[in-house]
């Protein structure tokens, strides 16, 4: 396949900006589907999960291949709801370009900013599409202003709308200097209307000035007042987009089928092919300071990244991968360098949302699903075993909310365990732990909707009805003071006993998670037992010490110890290390960490005082206010998650239903001693019940 004619793109945006409707129109106009699927009636091809059809939102990113003008486009439609942000994260890691969709009325929303920063993390070139130009209150230039102000996007209009709201008829193409109208589904090219010529000429001049900043040939022609050939203009725009110097912006109304074909042309013209992205760099699995490059070529050794797993009732586990170099064939053996294990590929599928087309071979740039993979998980690298490397993995956000669940029928405990294991495999932002003291299964996720969907899937997809407790905050535990601990584990039985002795120092390790440092000298603990010490501590981290919450941000330095030539064993050192760590943890001024959320509230001016007052009572802080629309403001701030249960109802009451809000995880912070005492008291009361 000619890689220059391949585009791997994602469609990402705030919830309700019209991403899935846009994806459905792209599928229709590329001939992939014969009828238009609508989100509101549950018929969208890309929203094929039952939960998506019921709620009218995208939950899981869906991949599909389509063709436009001899180009192949691999398209991924991503969710806009903050609870499913990991779907956007893993999609952007494997995509080459992105279409960022904005509502012409809502503009830059909180989740638009989150998606934008995710794209920045992976340096993904992008174009903007201002959708819903037919809606009351649509303002194209205002959205572009917000993109520049809040996203630092260097957004440049490549189109101007002709009319707006119910009078939205078409657009002026500033690159080709022509007017495009949409009449009964057909595109009609006409001269630019006389009354719009001055505005179009000024906007075109500004676009050329922007391009001249990064292209000397255009600068030359511009200064000499010479006409700029279309090919030179498009090439300069493409280069500037790929270097992330500009974001070309287009407009349309996906629901009314306006602007789709032009957007597809823009995807081909301005977004990168795998060749434009070039070589990927991976780390040597034996030497971290050594790197390897892989070019998008079948001649280079095979390398790919696993970015998604789906359990399919018909074919079993589907492992979605993006191939960066080399090729893969059915029956081939590949090496999982993250797990350091070999796997055999069963079958290979090209995916069209919920449909599958079996293929025998795939190459660079392809996004495919593999059947038969046993060990590979999200973020793993698979490659040629003779040329191993580790590609950059995928950033997984921390869970912030918990739910206690139990099978409605105790006999189905093992069935529940199997179903949860499959869901954890699919969704790395979903966590499960078992509290042996209370005999409860605790699931954790990104928000209430995330866990609601999981419960729904347990009942509908896996046939395991569950009893569900109240949602609670996913606290974490840590220490705030350095402490040394010394513990000797001895157990004498009739035969061989148990002996282990460890001395360790525990240090606060803010923001760096768990770290283990071995400072044993002179073999006082034999080398084969050092991993046992680490393992014993790690087993303790998940269950917590203070209140049963996972432990984070602790550095453990193993200083000293002793062993017995007969009675020491792997298990003895695991038990010893666990008890030693627990003892030290309780002396290190242990503290709970609580999740703090970023919050953005859109409200009419008259309710600002009441809303700010209510947020202050919830320990919230307002960082900034900015104009949203005439008579409305956006409030940005932070607030602890534990104060926000039931906030939707409270905000509705305060603002007579006119304000709305969105939240996303910001960071974990230490709780005050007063609040910690209250939390521990409540937890104790719940246990006693």
Q: What is the pLDDT of residue 633?
A: 84
Q: What is the pLDDT of residue 438?
A: 63
The share of the chain scoring above pLDDT 90, in percent, equals 31
600-611 pLDDT, tens digit each: 888 888 899 999
Question: Highest-confidence range of 51-55, 138-142, 374-378, by mean pLDDT?
Answer: 138-142
Q: What is the pLDDT of residue 83?
A: 58
Q: What is the pLDDT of residue 243?
A: 92
175-194 pLDDT, tens digit each: 998 999 988 767 888 888 88
**Quick one: DSSP state of residue 510?**
T
Q: What is the pLDDT of residue 450?
A: 81
Compute how many other C-beta atoms are within 10 angstroms of the C-beta atom of residue 467: 10
CA distance 269 to 257: 21
| pLDDT(136) > 80 | yes
395-406 pLDDT, tens digit each: 777 788 888 888
Q: What is the pLDDT of residue 166?
A: 86
| pLDDT(124) > 80 | yes
431-470 pLDDT, tens digit each: 888 766 666 788 888 877 788 888 888 888 888 888 888 7
User: Which 3 state secondary structure label does DSSP give 13?
Assistant: strand
| pLDDT(292) > 50 | yes
Residues 180/188, Cβ–Cβ less than 8 Å: yes
Residue 160's pLDDT band, with cuts at 50, 70 and 90, is: very high
Residues 19/58, Cβ–Cβ less than 8 Å: yes
Residue 631's pLDDT band, with cuts at 50, 70 and 90, is: confident
Residues 136/130, Cβ–Cβ less than 8 Å: no
Q: What is the pLDDT of residue 187?
A: 84
| pLDDT(621) > 90 | yes
Residue 152: what are its φ and ψ, rounded to 5°? Answer: 55, 45
Spatial neighbors of 272 by CB under 8 A, at least 6 apart, are 7, 96, 97, 125, 242
CA distance 239 to 219: 15
27-77 pLDDT, tens digit each: 888 876 655 544 444 444 443 444 434 434 444 455 677 888 888 888 876
Q: What is the pLDDT of residue 584?
A: 95
Nearest by Cα to 114 from 139, 141, 143, 87 = 87
Residues 14/106, Cβ–Cβ less than 8 Å: yes
Compute how many other C-beta atoms are within 10 angstroms of the C-beta atom of residue 299: 9
Decide which of 52 and 81 is more confident: 81
Residues 113/152, Cβ–Cβ less than 8 Å: no
Q: What is the pLDDT of residue 378?
A: 84
Asked which of 246-260, 317-331, 625-639 is least confident by mean pLDDT, the reply is 625-639
Going by DSSP bridges, is the β-strand pair 247-251/155-157 parallel, antiparallel, or unpaired?
Answer: parallel
| pLDDT(629) > 70 | no
Decide which of 519 and 453 is more confident: 519
232-244 pLDDT, tens digit each: 889 999 999 999 9
The share of the chain scoring above pLDDT 70, in percent, equals 91
351-373 pLDDT, tens digit each: 765 567 888 888 898 888 898 88
Q: What is the pLDDT of residue 61?
A: 52
Residue 507's pLDDT band, with cuts at 50, 70 and 90, is: very high
CA distance 626 to 340: 51
| pLDDT(416) > 90 | no
546-562 pLDDT, tens digit each: 888 889 999 999 999 99
Q: What is the pLDDT of residue 155?
A: 93
Span 16-34, mean pLDDT?
Answer: 77
Residue bearing tokens 């064993």: 569
Q: What is the pLDDT of residue 519?
A: 92
Decide which of 50 and 626 is more confident: 626
Decide which of 169 and 687 is more confident: 169
């Amino acid at each position: 396949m000619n890689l220059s004619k391949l585009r791997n793109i994602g469609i990402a945006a705030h919830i309700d900006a019209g991403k899935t409707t846009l994806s459905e129109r792209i599928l229709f106009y590329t001939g992939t589907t014969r009828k238009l699927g609508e989100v509101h009636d549950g018929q969208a091809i890309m929203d094929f999960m039952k939960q998506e059809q019921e709620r009218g939102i995208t939950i899981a990113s869906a991949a599909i291949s389509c063709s436009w003008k001899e180009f192949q486009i691999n398209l991924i439609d991503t969710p806009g709801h903050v609870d499913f942000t990991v779907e956007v994260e893993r999609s952007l890691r494997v995509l080459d370009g992105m279409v960022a969709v904005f509502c012409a009325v809502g503009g830059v929303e909180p989740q638009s900013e989150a998606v934008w920063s995710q794209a920045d993390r992976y340096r993904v070139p992008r174009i903007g599409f201002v959708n819903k130009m037919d809606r009351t209150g649509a303002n194209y230039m205002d959205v572009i202003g917000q993109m520049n102000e809040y996203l630092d996007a260097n957004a440049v209009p490549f189109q101007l709308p002709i009319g707006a709201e119910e009078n939205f008829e078409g657009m002026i193409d500033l690159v080709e200097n022509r007017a495009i109208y949409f009449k009964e589904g057909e595109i009609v090219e006409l001269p630019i209307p006389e009354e719009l010529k001055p505005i179009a000429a000024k906007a075109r001049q500004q676009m050329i000035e922007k391009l001249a900043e990064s292209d000397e040939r255009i600068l030359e022609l511009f200064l000499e007042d010479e006409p700029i050939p279309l090919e030179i203009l498009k090439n300069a725009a493409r280069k500037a987009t790929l270097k992330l110097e500009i974001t070309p912006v287009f407009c349309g109304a996906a629901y009314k089928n306006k602007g789709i074909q032009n957007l597809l042309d823009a995807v081909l013209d301005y977004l990168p092919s795998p060749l434009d992205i070039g070589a990927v760099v991976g780390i040597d699995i034996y030497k971290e300071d050594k790197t390897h490059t892989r070019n998008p070529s079948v001649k280079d050794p095979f390398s790919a990244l696993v970015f998604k797993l789906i359990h399919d009732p018909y074919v079993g586990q589907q492992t979605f991968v993006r191939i960066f170099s080399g090729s893969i064939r059915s029956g081939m053996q590949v090496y999982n360098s993250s797990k350091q294990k070999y796997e055999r590929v069963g079958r290979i599928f090209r995916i069209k949302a919920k449909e599958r087309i079996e293929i025998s071979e795939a190459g660079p740039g392809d996004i495919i699903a593999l059947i038969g993979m046993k060990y590979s998980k999200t973020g793993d690298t698979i490659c040629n075993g003779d040329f191993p490397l580790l590609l950059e993995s995928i950033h997984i956000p921390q869970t912030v909310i918990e739910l206690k669940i139990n099978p409605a029928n105790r006999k189905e405990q093992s069935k529940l365990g199997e179903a949860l294991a499959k869901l954890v495999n699919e969704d790395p932002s979903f966590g499960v732990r078992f509290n042996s003291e209370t005999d409860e299964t605790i699931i954790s996720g990104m928000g209430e909707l995330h866990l609601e969907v999981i419960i729904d899937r347990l009942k509908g997809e896996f046939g395991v009805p569950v009893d569900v407790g109240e949602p609670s905050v996913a606290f974490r535990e840590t220490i705030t003071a350095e402490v040394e601990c010394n513990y000797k584990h001895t157990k004498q039985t009739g035969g061989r006993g148990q002996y282990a002795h460890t001395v360790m120092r525990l240090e606060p390790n803010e923001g760096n998670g768990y770290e283990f440092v071995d400072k044993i000298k002179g073999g006082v603990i034999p080398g084969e037992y050092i991993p046992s010490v680490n393992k014993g501590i790690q087993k303790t981290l998940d269950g917590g010490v203070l209140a049963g919450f996972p432990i984070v941000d602790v550095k453990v330095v193993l200083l000293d110890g002793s062993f017995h030539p007969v009675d020491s064993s792997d298990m003895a050192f695991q038990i010893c290390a666990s008890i030693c760590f627990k003892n030290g943890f309780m002396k290190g001024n242990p503290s709970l960490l609580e999740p703090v959320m970023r919050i953005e509230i859109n409200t009419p001016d008259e309710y600002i005082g009441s809303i700010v007052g209510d947020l202050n009572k919830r320990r919230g802080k307002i960082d900034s206010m900015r104009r949203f629309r005439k008579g409305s403001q956006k409030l940005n701030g932070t607030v602890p998650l534990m104060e926000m249960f039931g906030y939707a109802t409270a905000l509705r009451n305060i603002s007579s239903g006119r304000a709305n809000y969105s939240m996303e995880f910001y960071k974990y912070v230490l709780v005050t001693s007063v609040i910690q005492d209250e939390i521990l008291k409540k937890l104790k009361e719940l246990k006693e019940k």
